Amino acid sequence: MGTIAAAGPHSSARLQAPLGLAQRREALSAAKTYLGCVVYVSEAHNRALLSQLEAIAVEARGTALANLFVDAPYNRTAFTLVGAEVPPLAVLTYGWAHPEGRQLASLRRELGYFTGAAAGIWQGSPLPAASGASAQAGGSSGTPTGDAVPLPVAPCFGPLTAPARSGVCCVGASPWIVNYNVLLHAKDMAAAAAIARAVSERGGGLPAVQAMALRHEDGIEVACNLLDPAASPPEAVLAEVQRLAAAAGLQVGRAYRTNRLPAELAAAAAAAGL
Going from N- to C-terminal start, the domains of the chain cover: 128-165, 177-257
Q: Is the pLDDT of residue 11 over 50?
A: no
- Angle of helix 234-248 relative to helix 189-199, nearest 10 degrees? 140
Average pLDDT, the chain: 77
Q: What angle do CA 104, 109, 113 make, to 5 degrees?
A: 95
CA neighbours closer than 13 Å in the CB half-sphere of residue 70: 11
Helix (H, G, I), strand (E, B) or coil at 242: helix
- pLDDT for the residue numbered 27: 55
Q: What integer pLDDT is reported at residue 12 of this predicted model? A: 32
DSSP class of residue 11 equals S
Give the DSSP H/E element, type plus range, for residue 241.
Answer: helix 234-248
Answer whether 3's CB lies under 8 Å from 33's CB. yes
User: What does the alpha-carbon distance between residue 25 and residue 29 come to, in Å, rounded to a whole number?
Assistant: 6
Residue 88 has pLDDT above 90, yes or no: no
**Separation CA 167–CA 144 (nearest Å):** 16
For residue 88, give every residue at least 6 positions away whose Cβ sits within 8 Å of its Cβ, in sequence order, or none: none
**pLDDT of 15:** 36
Residues 141-167 have a mean pLDDT of: 63
Choice among 36-45, 112-121, 143-152, 167-176 with the minimum mean pLDDT: 143-152
CB 198 within 8 A of CB 185: no
Single pTM value for the model: 0.53
Helix (H) or strand (E) holding 123: none
| Backbone torsions φ then ψ of 250, nearest 5 degrees | -110, 150
Instruction: Provide the residue type at 251 as one letter.
Output: Q
Q: Count Cβ atoms within 10 A of the Cβ of residue 259 and give its class: 0-12 exposed, 13-18 middle, 19 or more buried.
A: buried
Q: How far apart are CA 40 and CA 185, in angstroms?
A: 26
DSSP per-residue codes, 26-91: HHHHTSEEEEEEEEEES-SS-HHHHHHHHHHHHH-TTEEEEEEEEEGGGTEEEEEEEES-------
Rounded to an integer, what distance in angstroms lies between the CA atom of residue 22 and that of residue 94? 15
Q: Degrees (nearest 5) of the Cα angle 61, 66, 67?
A: 130
CATH architecture for residues 177-257: 2-Layer Sandwich (3.30)
Q: pLDDT per residue over 176-212, tens digit each?
A: 889 999 999 999 999 999 999 999 999 999 999 999 9
pLDDT for res 29: 52
